[in-house]
Structure 1
Amino acid sequence: MANTVPMKIFFSPTSPYVRKCMVTAHEVGLVDRLELLPASAHPVTRDQAIIASNPLGKVPTLVSDDGHALYDSRVICEYLNDLGQGRLLAKDGALRWEALTLQSLGDGILDAALLARYETAVRPEALRWTDWIQGKIDAIHTSLRYLEEHPELFQRDFHLGLLTVGCALWYLDLRYPDLAWRQNYPQLARASEPVLQRESMQQTWALPA
């Protein structure tokens, strides 16, 4: 592409939402145009560097090569797919709505996982709400059960919904190994393996030294 000005993305290597954007960029050939900016998004101690571009103070936040900020991951992924002329999202029709709905399911798994983690890793122990944590873990399980019962969803050409579910499963491996989702949902484990083994999904990224 003629424009060589780098886009910038506020980056955390363990954020599954940032990972969604990086996998998307890899899929559409734009990953080399992304400059990774160190970020420390936190629900209490907020990162003022992010807030300067995104008033929500969340990652991912993308600053395009013309200086405009985009957020959240859903917007950024669609932007990158469009910019790179990718095929991660159909322009219209049933496959578009299926991909977007599956993206919402993957994001919902991540929302539940992050909220449960914040309750244990951020909230003071005396203020933790066990029922809240259990409710979020149950939302993860009901979502995984749905995917277990619908392996045909993984037979589609790779799209943004499958990408998001893959990032959700990656995050469960990272933060919730005790859920043992592969053992508890074996049909899902088999069906999702081609997604998890994609080159883009196998990539790791880190901030420059």
Structure 2
Amino acid sequence: MRLLGTRPSPFTSKVRMAAVICGFELDLVPTDTAEEGATLVGTNPIGKIPALVLDDGSSLYDSRVICEWLDRSSGNLLIPQILAEWSQAKRIEALADGMTEAAMLTLYEVRYRPEDKRHQPWVDKQWRRAHRSLDALEHEVRSLGETPNLAHIAVASDLGWLDLRFSNELRDRHASLARWMDHFFAAHPELAAHRPAA
């Protein structure tokens, strides 16, 4: 199977870690979303990554959908099936991904909008969203067990991206999460190999 994505993308990272847990090998196809190339939009009309091309030629997109597919195809090795544990894993995934989406919007504001067009109150709002999410994650990760599941890889991939793009926001303001991430990757080198990277 081929995974259209990029090494820095936290959502690509999450899928790659999920594939390791579920026992799948994915061939990463580096994909530039800015170009909206034929391969990408032919696989995912939305033009976003990650997108997974299955062996039969069909495709799946959005990291949450791909992770669900990997989990179901592996006999539920990734997502807990007991309701309380499922709720925790999915809540943490949504919280971690939401934090990253907010922080990404601030990056895009700086990267793609001319300085005289930037709206600082909007940027500040996104950072408030991100930091509220990080505060909540500091409490959530304390309850995670040792065996990696969807919650672990969502937090690890999203924190890995934050560390890559805004290291001071993570390591200065949320040091306990940085320590959790460092410990997680040290304990699981097979997953650390797929953390977001430049």
TM-score, normalised on structure 1?
0.84
RMSD of aligned Cα (Å): 2.1
- Asked if the contact 2:156/2:184 (under 8 Å) is kept, the reply is yes
* Distance (Å, rounded) in 1 between the aligned partners of 2:195 and 2:142: 31
- How far is the alpha carbon of 1:67 from its aligned partner? 1.4
Q: Which has the higher contact order (CA 8 A, sep 6+)?
A: 2
Question: Quick one: which amino acid aligns to residue 188 of structure 1?
Answer: L
Q: Which residue of 2 aligns with 1:3?
A: none
* Distance (Å, rounded) in 2 between the aligned partners of 1:83 and 1:204: 21
Q: Which residue of 2 aligns with 1:81?
A: 71
SS in structure 2 at match of 1:62: strand
Q: Which residue of 2 aligns with 1:4?
A: none
Query: What does residue range 132-147 of structure 1 map to in structure 2 within 5 Å?
Result: 132-147=122-137
Q: Which residue of 1 aligns with 2:177?
A: 188
* Distance (Å, rounded) in 2 between the aligned partners of 1:91 and 1:155: 15
Gap runs ≥5 in structure 1: 1-6
- Asked if the contact 1:28/1:81 (under 8 Å) is kept, the reply is yes
2:9 to 10, 15, 18: 15
Gap runs ≥5 in structure 2: none
Q: Does 1:40 align with 2:45?
A: no
Q: Does 1:54 align with 2:44?
A: yes
Return closer, same or farther for 1:178/1:184 CA change in 2, 3 Å cut-off: closer
Question: Quick one: which amino acid aligns to residue 187 of structure 1?
Answer: S
* Distance (Å, rounded) in 2 between the aligned partners of 1:150 and 1:39: 33
Q: Which residue of 2 aligns with 1:121?
A: 111
User: CA offsets, 1:14-66, max 9 Å, x none?
Assistant: 111111111111122212xx222231013xx5333211111100000001111
* Distance (Å, rounded) in 2 between the aligned partners of 1:124 and 1:63: 36
TM-score, normalised on structure 2?
0.88
Report the identity percentage: 31
Q: Does 1:91 align with 2:91?
A: no
SS in structure 1 at match of 2:13: helix
SS in structure 2 at match of 1:10: strand
- How far is the alpha carbon of 1:146 from its aligned partner? 1.4
- How far is the alpha carbon of 1:136 from its aligned partner? 1.1
Q: Does 1:167 align with 2:157?
A: yes
Number of aligned residue pairs: give it.
195
